[in-house]
Amino acid sequence: MAAESTASETPTTLLHLSAVTAGYGAGLILKGVDLAVTRGEIVCLIGPNGAGKSTVLKTVSGLLRNAGGTVLFNGEDIGRLTSRERLARGIVHVPQDRSLFPTMTVWENVIMGGFILSNHALVKQRAEEVAEIFPIVAKRRSAAAGSLSGGEQKQVELARSLMLDPALILLDEPSIGLDPKSRTSVFASIANLARDGRTVLLVEQNARSGLAVAHMAAVLEAGRVALTGTGQSLLDDPEVARLYLGASAQGPSAALATR
Amino acid sequence: MHSLIQAVILGVLTGGVYALMASGQTLIFGIMKVVNLAQGVLVVLGAYLTYTLFTQWGVDPFLSILITTPLLFLVGVGVQWALLRPLHGDDVAQLSLLVTFAIALGVEGLLSFAYGATLTNVQPSYANFSWTILGYQVSLVRFVAFVLSLVVLGLLYLILQRTKFGRSVRATVQNPMSAQLLGVNANRVSALGFGLGAATAAAAGSVFGMLNSFNPGSHYDLISRLLTIVVLGGLGSIGGSVVAALVMGVASSVVSALASPIWSDFTFFVVLLLVLLIRPRGLFGARTRGAL
Amino acid sequence: MQLHIDGLRPRRARLFASVAALAAGAVLLAGCAASPSTSSSSGPLKIGISLSLTGDFSDSGKAAQRGYDLWASVVNKSGGVLGRQVKLSIVDDASSPDQVVTNYTNLITQSKVDLVFGPFSSLLTVPASRVASRYHYSFIEPAGGGPSVFDQKLTNLFFVQPAPTTKGGDVFADYILSLPANKRPKTAGYAKLDDPFSAPIAASIQKRFEAAGIKTVYDQTYPAETADMTPIMSGMSAANPDVVVGGSQEADAFAQIQAVIQLKFNPKWLFESNGANSPGDFPAAVGANTEGVFSSADWYADSTVAGSAKFISDYIAKYGGDAQKIDPTSAEAFSAGLLVEQVAKKTGKVDNATIIKTLHSGSWPTLVGNLSWDQYGAPKGSYQLVQWIDGKLTTVFPAATARHTPVAPKPHWAG
Amino acid sequence: MKFAITRAGLVRAGVFFLVLVLVPIVGGPGWLLNTLTFTIMYAALSSSWNLIGGYAGYPSLGHVAFFGIGAYATAIMFNGSVYGGYAPFLMLPVIGIGVALLSVPIGWVSMRTRADVFAIVTITLLFITQTLAFNLKEITGGAQGKSVAPAPFDVATYDWPFYYAMLIMLATAMAISMYFRRSKIGLSLATVRADEDKAHGVGVRVTAVKLIAFAVSSGLVAMVGGVWAYYVGFIYPQFAVDPLITIGMVLMAFLGGRGTLWGPVLGSFILVPAQEYFAQAFGASQLYLIAYAAVFLVIMLFLPRGILPSIAERLDRRRAGAAGAARDNAAAQVAPMPPSEVKVVR
Amino acid sequence: MSENLLEVDHLTKRFGGVTAVNECSFTVQKGTITALIGPNGSGKTTVFNMVTGYLKADSGEIRFRGEAITRPRPADLYRRGLSRTFQQARIFPELTVEENLVVAAGYNSRQLFGRRVSDSDRDRATKMLGEFRLETLAQLPAADLSYGQRKLLEFAAVLMSDPMLVLLDEPTAGVNPVMIDAMEQHIRERHAAGVTFLIVEHDMQLVMRLCDPVIVLDQGAPIAFGSPDQIQKDPRVLEAYLGS
């Protein structure tokens, strides 16, 4: 995969952003983003705060319309579609904040994931399938979602995102605010998604973990893609480490390595 | 004692009708965070529609609910679409307060244009019929109105709990952004929710028109009562507003009977202030973990 | 200040007006509507009136407007007042005191009307009459007879009804107390609407009843927004008085009666100070249950006062409908015009000083009877007692003008 | 955000007040003075409301309660014709201070709630005051209303004292607004409006500044009510405690721009004359309310933040070219610097 | 180093039927950077809210500088030297960066009537902004700052009152790694200047580098207390928090 790939309309490219600009009001946050996401891969976006990582996800899911450039999904320009239409094409966005409906049960939350489907039987069937992948759904089925711990909630959110059998899952900082144990299991779940053939576009401030799980990665800097590479190559690059990964990337941490 | 019990009976029956109006109000708040100051005028509009249907075409006021409810539902949807949807920003709550007040003024103006300021009421043949049960008077209209309110409230409950639309409403109430990401069209939910709120106003209006004399200006009194009810119940809590409506109905009726009517509403406002002193969120307003 | 302004105003005034308006920043809108002209003793006779065409008092406001308009068209058809055509400037005060002050100030200082007539309701009459008094205008007002109006001690004011409003029920007390002692009621109950016009009427009756030994067994005051009379009337019904006195306006009077019907309570006498004297609205509200209810009135469709029949036919010719639907307020407003006409006829002048001086002497025939006033504008006459008999509002007391004897005890409710 | 008094600002205020001071002397027509008196009254009310509703972000819908209390205070004190003359004006400061003190406990209770609920609780305050005005007949005259002794002023200059009294009230309200903005009170109020919980967390004297703003605002409104009662001459619960007066103050501040010095003034100078015009032009045809509602809606939908902030925003956007770039540069200096040469890792 | 700056004694808090904090006791000694860690839902933030006066405990006692906090009020505590930051950086977006600092500097009732930003305020703010390398942003509305900058601003602001104890609620959550390093540096500098810290943080590497001692909370009560080395060998901590 190459950032400025021109031959991106190969069957393997699921999502292709070229020269995308977007923002709120007068100011632009994205100032020409080029990014290609290959089918079946996990792509991780890293970069400083305010670089526009979340904005990329919003532009893909339709929460925000791109002001310029094109957003191609499966070869189709989806830039003018509503977020619901994009949902119907298999793009699911899991936002950064806790996004469950706290007083609804876990089961109802999962059912809500199939909201745009009109076939109720199908929704139920999918929910049962999802419950098999994410045991927490079956285990806490009738519990109010708000009573679950943060890690459990994130698992349910991931479960819910599968209800539409999506081609592309957009994950915005799934590990934020999670304790180490929950983080580990969330990243494990993300890896599993890819193993099942889903494509994931991941934004992660916890760059090391994000890069570790990603096939490919891109560094976003001031509204543009500054670098791309495989997850591992970025992790190993001392320059990237200095600029983007901080002290924590200066070799494996003694504290955790002893474990 | 007799007058106390009589007052409680009356209060409960009246409270039921207010519960209907207030449930729509609090529903609208729950979905859109809009304090709908036009709810009172929608009730009055419902009453006038019932009045016209009854006097022009002889439609029974209770039956006319079948016509007024869908009609006001459409009005509600239209109002939301045209006037509330365009609002955005941090202070939507405050802006919508003024916008809905403007709607109230405008509808009041239209009604005075069409009907004048004369107080009217809807007088079907059975308007003055009442039963005497164990020495207590129970008026037919009041009783049917109360039962009807329960039925409509029950329907509302079913719609919210059991239908897909209801789920989307609850989802939007709890997390609008997340609901939108799952394909819930927030504008559509808001429009339908506002429509539903207006529809309850219509149902309540048909009944209100039989119980009370009204004119276009009647909505000021209605809205002041509705606001105290929804705040007392806890903004956004439908169950809370039903309880608060009953409390209000009984309180004002009892004070009216035992002390004087001139203090009845006053008592209620004071109760509201006392409750807020102890529970600033109202009786059923939730304060949950992590909310700060 | 609005529609009926004509002529060119002096250039200087215009200059001032526009400079000031511009300087003040944004009074332009009002400025556009403004084009004052000078008052003069020739040309049309301009009369300014502020009425409540919107807001709480707007029904009566519109009834008053019909009365004023009717008078103007009648008098203009017969050649005007002293040969001058009458032009009315009617503006809306939206039932607001700020607006009423503004309106009369504008009418007098800007539109330079020759005369002003009163607005509707005592509440607006007080501030309005002060403006008129300040500019030494006479203030003939058909509505607004509460104590606060006369307490001002203004000498330019004339209330165009037979008596101050608070005495509206005294004729009922006169009637009851005229009964032989063994036929009088023993107990009475009172339901009073807490507004400037209603509660005082009932209170005045109550005072006389109690002095005469009629025991008060129930007495309740309720606020204006009380829509539901059931709690009060069930208290009343429990006390079971012989006579029920309602100090009421329209809607609450109707609600009181609906409540007692529901409660199956039928007192021997039932008096409502207002509402029950409305020939159109009352039967519309309570259906067949009008029979035997008392009220008081100054003008009503069957009135035998001179000019009443002509007024009715003119009214119907202009506005349609039938005699029973005419609001007395229209007749009162019409009477205000009649007073001006008579002063003009008698003195040959229509200036304010003349009107004030002339009206203070003598007695003046109007649709609401012969009127005369004390120095502060309180009329010295009395109302008529009316009762619903055979579906019609009929004068029953005092005997001199009665067309039927009072029916008592009251027949049972029709249901 | 600059809060220094600029020369332009002083000139603006000077010209504005000078013109208004001169209007009666130059001798505009009577109707102008009358309309202006009510316009300035609303400007004063709206500016006072702005102290709590705009700067502190507590949208009180019950301020007319204090207006009514002030009006009744005047009416009760000067009911007979014993005093009169200029005495009612001299009593205003007493009324203002009295009502300000009275409002402290009221503010303390009602400001336990936030935004929406606060608005509704203050509506309750309005109805409580109205009910008391009706029911405490001995003091207020109840439904019979209460008159103030007529002012013995000469007819030619009758309006002058009222006009100037209102003008002084407006000047006072604006001066206090200005002072608030330039002092730590204003700074503290801004934190309350933005995030009250956080304000507590950084030691802001939240309760104190809220109560100061509420009390000053209420006291000013009461004083305006006192002048009004004397001017109108007769008050009645529904007139003195009229929901439309509350809505007037709020709406005018919204129209001109909440939390700005001139916003409420601008809003009043547009809406009051417009309202009068509509009442006269459309009143007879019942369309007055509809026209008023329409103006209302247009404002809310097209200028949701008010005229002044909207204009300021537009100007800002025009300047955004230069300033925006400067801002980006400033921000970039603290952000970790990106590599100057983009290196593509393959 | 043995003076207890903060003592939490048998603190309990319930929400509805759920016990969020259960008989929780611990101390923070003066001069330490104490970490408070634990799985999601273990009650860390609730403890923070009670200690800083935002929530009233159902039972138990909190002592700050040896005095019991009887009527917990955030502003009083702040003035007595106890500051906190929030998980989601909370700043005043409409105020300038400088004003954000000035308002947090603390002032008495009399100063309330003084100038909005006095010269001495400005000097102090400028100095603090300089330390955080935010001085070029001083006159910008805080709304214009990036998330990481906001976190720094919030931290800088609560330092304006010269606090004795600062509670940081996930100071690095959502912050990019480079900014985390900066944050760590600022904490160390302040610590060297004598400020005591109590930090809730999930970034274990940071905790291990920076903090000593570490308190581990689970289900509303401490399950372990000790140096980072001790903590990460504790089987209960591995089980409940770190995962094995």
Do C156 and C270 lie in one domain? The reply is: no
As a CATH number, domain E4-88+164-171+195-242 is 3.40.50.300
Average pLDDT, chain C: 82
Assign D233 a pLDDT band (cuts: 50, 70, 90). confident
How far does the CA of residue D332 sit from the closest CA of chain A (Å)? 9
Angle, nearest 10°, between helix axes C328-347 and C352-359? 100
Q: What is the pLDDT of residue A73?
A: 92
Does position E242 have pLDDT exceeding 80, yes or no? no
Which range is least confidently modeled, A82-86, C322-326, E200-204?
C322-326
Q: What is the 3-state secondary structure (H, E, C) of chain C?
A: CCCCCCCCCCHHHHHHHHHHHHHHCCCHHHHHHCCCCCCCCCCCEEEEEEECCCCCCHHHHHHHHHHHHHHHHHHHHCCCECCECEEEEEEECCCCHHHHHHHHHHHHHHCCCCEEECCCCHHHHHHHHHHHHHCCCCEEECCCCCHHHHCCCCCCEEECCCCCHHHCCHHHHHHHHHCCHHHCCCEEEEEEECCCCCHHHHHHHHHHHHHCCCEEEEEEEECCCCCCCHHHHHHHHHHCCCEEEEECCHHHHHHHHHHHHHCCCCCCEEEECCCCCCCCHHHHHHCCCCCCCEEEECCCCCCCCCCHHHHHHHHHHHHCCCHHHCCHHHHHHHHHHHHHHHHHHHHCCCCHHHHHHHHCCCCEEECCEEECECCCCCECCCCEEEEEECCEEEEEECCCCCCCCCCCCCCCCCC
Which range is least confidently modeled, A85-99, C19-33, E108-122, E219-233?
C19-33
**Contact at CB, D293 and B113, closer than 8 angstroms:** no
Does position E134 have pLDDT exceeding 80, yes or no? yes
Q: What is the pLDDT of residue A246?
A: 67
Over pLDDT 70: what percentage of chain B?
95
| Domain of residue C258, CATH code | 3.40.50.2300
Other chains touching A, judged by 3 or more CB pairs under 8 Å: B, D, E
**Contact at CB, D342 and A229, closer than 8 angstroms:** no
Residues of D in contact with E130 (CB under 8 A): none
Nearest Cα neighbor of E166 from E155, E175, E177, E174 is: E155
Does position B87 have pLDDT exceeding 70, yes or no? yes
Q: Count the alpha carbons within 13 Å of E94 in the hemisphere toward its beta carbon.
A: 15
CA angle (A59, A64, A70) in 5-degree steps: 45
Find the CB nearest B105 among D114, D197, D296: D296
Average pLDDT, chain B: 84
Does position E191 have pLDDT exceeding 70, yes or no? yes
Q: Residue B284: enclosing H or E segment and its boundaries?
A: none
Q: Residue D171: enclosing H or E segment and its boundaries?
A: helix D160-182
Assign D83 a pLDDT band (cuts: 50, 70, 90). low
Do C310 and C296 lie in one domain? The reply is: no
Which of D279 and C52 is assigned the larger pLDDT?
C52
| CA separation for the pair B243, B207 (Å, rounded) | 20
Does position C106 have pLDDT exceeding 60, yes or no? yes
Q: What is the pLDDT of residue D5?
A: 62
| CA separation for the pair D158, B177 (Å, rounded) | 60
**Contact at CB, E39 and A182, closer than 8 angstroms:** yes
Assign D162 a pLDDT band (cuts: 50, 70, 90). very high
Over pLDDT 90: what percentage of chain C?
33
Q: What is the pLDDT of residue A252?
A: 38
| CA separation for the pair E144, E150 (Å, rounded) | 9
pLDDT digits (tens, 9 = 90+) for D27-52: 766 678 888 999 999 999 999 999 99
Burial C253-287 (b: 16+ CB within 10 A, else e): bbbbbbbbbbbebbbbbbbbbbbbbbbbbbbebbb
Which of E96 and B117 is assigned the larger pLDDT?
E96
Q: Are C154 and C130 in contact (CB under 8 A)?
A: yes
Find the CB nearest B119 among C62, C220, C250: C250
**Contact at CB, B262 and C221, closer than 8 angstroms:** yes
Judge whether C33 lies within some domain: no
Range of the domain at C222: 167-301+384-397
**Contact at CB, D276 and C92, closer than 8 angstroms:** no
Q: What is the pLDDT of residue B49?
A: 94
Does position C137 have pLDDT exceeding 90, yes or no? yes
Assign D272 a pLDDT band (cuts: 50, 70, 90). confident
Does position A219 have pLDDT exceeding 80, yes or no? yes
Residue of B nearest to D242 (CA): B220
Judge whether C28 lies within some domain: no
Domain boundaries, chain B: 2-278
Residues of A in contact with D332 (CB under 8 A): 222
pLDDT digits (tens, 9 = 90+) for B38-58: 999 999 999 999 999 998 888
Do C94 and C118 lie in one domain? The reply is: yes
Does position E87 have pLDDT exceeding 80, yes or no? yes
- For residues D105-114, give the mean pLDDT: 85
| CA separation for the pair C98, D74 (Å, rounded) | 17
pLDDT digits (tens, 9 = 90+) for A139-166: 988 888 888 888 889 899 999 999 999 9
Q: How far is CA B22 from CA A99, A136, E20, in A?
A: 29, 39, 35
Angle, nearest 10°, between helix axes D64-77 and D206-232? 50
Strand partners, A42: A200
**Contact at CB, B266 and D247, closer than 8 angstroms:** no
pLDDT digits (tens, 9 = 90+) for B199-214: 999 999 988 888 888 8
Q: Are C297 and C275 in contact (CB under 8 A)?
A: no
pLDDT digits (tens, 9 = 90+) for C168-179: 889 999 999 998
Phi, psi (5° rounding) for residue C379? Answer: -70, 155
Residues of B in contact with C258 (CB under 8 A): 127-128
Query: What would you measure as the largest C-alpha separation in chain D, in angstroms?
Result: 97
Does position A247 have pLDDT exceeding 60, yes or no? no
Residues of chain A with CATH 3.40.50.300: 1-90+167-259
Substitution target from D16, D26, D34, D128 for chain C, most C beta carbons within 10 A: D34
Query: Phi/psi zone of residue B225: left (φ > 0), alpha (ψ -120 to 50 degrees), beta?
Result: alpha
**Contact at CB, D135 and B95, closer than 8 angstroms:** no
Assign A256 a pLDDT band (cuts: 50, 70, 90). very low
| CA separation for the pair C151, D75 (Å, rounded) | 14
Assign B225 a pLDDT band (cuts: 50, 70, 90). confident
Nearest Cα neighbor of B266 from E237, D156, C117, D237 is: D237
pLDDT digits (tens, 9 = 90+) for C207-244: 999 999 999 999 988 887 676 788 788 888 888 999 99
Domain boundaries, chain D: 18-242
Residue of A nearest to B182 (CA): A113
Residues of E in contact with A206 (CB under 8 A): 203
As a CATH number, domain A1-90+167-259 is 3.40.50.300
Which range is least confidently modeled, A124-133, A143-152, A240-249?
A240-249
pLDDT digits (tens, 9 = 90+) for A98-119: 888 888 899 999 999 888 888 8
Q: What is the pLDDT of residue C128?
A: 92
Does position D335 have pLDDT exceeding 50, yes or no? no
Does position D187 have pLDDT exceeding 90, yes or no? yes
Q: What is the DSSP letter of D154?
A: -
Other chains touching D, judged by 3 or more CB pairs under 8 Å: A, B, C, E
Q: What is the CA radius of gyration of chain E?
A: 18
Do C257 and C142 lie in one domain? The reply is: no
Does position E42 have pLDDT exceeding 90, yes or no? no
Assess whether chains B and E touch, using the rule of 3 or more C-beta pairs within 8 angstroms: yes
The total domain count for chain C is 2
- For residues C248-258, give the mean pLDDT: 85
Determine the 3-state secondary structure of A115 from DSSP: coil
**Contact at CB, D234 and C109, closer than 8 angstroms:** no
Q: Count the alpha carbons within 13 Å of C82 in the hemisphere toward its beta carbon.
A: 18
Does position C2 have pLDDT exceeding 60, yes or no? no
Q: What is the pLDDT of residue D325?
A: 42
Q: Which of A3-17, B121-135, D52-66 has the highest mean pLDDT?
A: D52-66
Do C192 and C297 lie in one domain? The reply is: yes
Over pLDDT 70: what percentage of chain D?
83
Determine the 3-state secondary structure of B290 from DSSP: coil
| CA separation for the pair B45, B246 (Å, rounded) | 23
| CA separation for the pair E213, D248 (Å, rounded) | 60
Q: Give yes or no for E191 touching A (CB within 8 A).
A: no
Phi, psi (5° rounding) for residue D6? Answer: -90, 160
End-to-end CA, chain C: 52
Q: How many residues does chain C have?
A: 415
Fold of B2-278: ABC transporter involved in vitamin B12 uptake, BtuC (1.10.3470)
Query: What DSSP line would sit under A183-198, residue for residue?
Result: HHHHHHHHHHHHHTT-
- For residues A203-227, give the mean pLDDT: 87
Residues of B in contact with A61 (CB under 8 A): 181
Q: Are C221 and C213 in contact (CB under 8 A)?
A: no
Find the CB nearest D203 among E78, E96, E144: E78
Which range is least confidently modeled, D104-108, D317-321, E149-153?
D317-321
Assign D115 a pLDDT band (cuts: 50, 70, 90). low
| CA separation for the pair C186, C199 (Å, rounded) | 22
Substitution target from B163, B181, B287 for chain A, most A beta carbons within 10 A: B181
Q: Could you tell me whether strands C215-222 and C187-193 are parallel, antiparallel, or unpaired per DSSP bridges?
A: parallel
Which of B4 and C73 is assigned the larger pLDDT?
C73
If you count residue pairs, one on B and one on C, with CB atoms under 8 Å apart, how many are there?
A: 88
Does position C46 have pLDDT exceeding 90, yes or no? yes
Tokens of C70: 């009717």
**Contact at CB, A101 and B288, closer than 8 angstroms:** no
Does position B4 have pLDDT exceeding 60, yes or no? yes
**Contact at CB, B99 and D132, closer than 8 angstroms:** no
Phi, psi (5° rounding) for residue E69? Answer: -90, 100
Assess whether chains B and C touch, using the rule of 3 or more C-beta pairs within 8 angstroms: yes
pLDDT digits (tens, 9 = 90+) for D2-31: 455 677 778 888 889 998 888 888 876 667
Tokens of A55: 């904005």
Q: What is the pLDDT of residue A253?
A: 38
How far does the CA of residue C95 sit from the closest CA of chain B (Å)? 12
Q: What is the 3-state secondary structure (H, E, C) of A76-106?
A: EECCCCCHHHHHHCCEEEECCCCCCCCCCEH
Do C260 and C388 lie in one domain? The reply is: yes
pLDDT digits (tens, 9 = 90+) for C301-350: 877 788 888 999 999 999 888 887 888 889 999 999 999 999 999 998 89
Average pLDDT, chain D: 82
